[in-house]
Amino acid sequence: MKRHLIIATAAAAALVAGGTVTAVAVGNGAGSANAASGGQLPARTVAQHAGSQASGTAQVQDGRSSIPMQEDDANGQEGIREAKAAKVSAPDAAAAALKAVPGTVTGLDLDADRPGLVWDTDVLGKDGKWHEITLDAGNARVLNQHIDQDDDDDAQERAAAKNAGTDAAGAARSAASHGKVTSVELDDDHRGKAVWEVETITKDGKEHKLLVDPQSGKLSAVPAHDTDDDDNDDGADD
């Protein structure tokens, strides 16, 4: 199994390069001798190895966003910088995530991380598993995807995601009039019911938190005291 996983990683690199790859795996079976000696595996052979891997194996391309950006909130302007730099909107990120893993998007978050500016997305796949997909915020290319093995199975969240009449992309479009959407998350227990929580930021740097009803698509502002509670939970207020 370990041998196959190593070859699969090489396979992903080969497919991105569009040709052949030098493999370093050793083991029995066709092509092993060539790989062990540092030879090249034909792209077709590599693709066959990649296709044989079990669902859940991390699928990494080059791992870098086309928008280099360091995570730095020293002057409180990180949010507006990210929003201005992102070329891919939240609805487009949701669409790209669903191309990678068909299912229901339950979370979108624009974030500057080590790979650069990315959309971190959560998808409840049609396979019943929770998938985490990292997308390039510049072109929506998949940088990384894997199955979240540690996520607690929440029947209520599953039901809320599957029964939502308005999806994450729809919630983002509803909130777009209040600024550029930087986060969409399905809260399955907001005062006893499920809602989409959406964060936006305007050109002047003001951030807004909004709620979108997953059934009606109705947009409303987060009550002030709820925002204060969130700030306290984050440790921002003393």
List CB contacts of 99: < 8 A, sequence separation 6 or more: none
Architecture of the domain spanning 78-233? Roll (3.10)
Return the pLDDT at 21. Answer: 38
Higher-scoring residue by pLDDT: 81, 61: 81
Most confident range, picked from 123-132, 151-160, 220-229? 123-132
List CB contacts of 29: < 8 A, sequence separation 6 or more: none
Statement: residue 173 has pLDDT above 60: yes
- pLDDT bucket at 6, cuts 50 / 70 / 90: very low
- 116 and 64 in contact (C-beta within 8 Å)? yes
Average pLDDT over every residue of 92-107: 97
- 91 and 171 in contact (C-beta within 8 Å)? no
Return the pLDDT at 226. Answer: 56
Return the pLDDT at 16. Answer: 38
CA distance 110 to 181: 9
Q: Taking the domains of the chain in order of start, what are their residue ranges?
A: 2-51, 78-233
Return the pLDDT at 155. Answer: 85
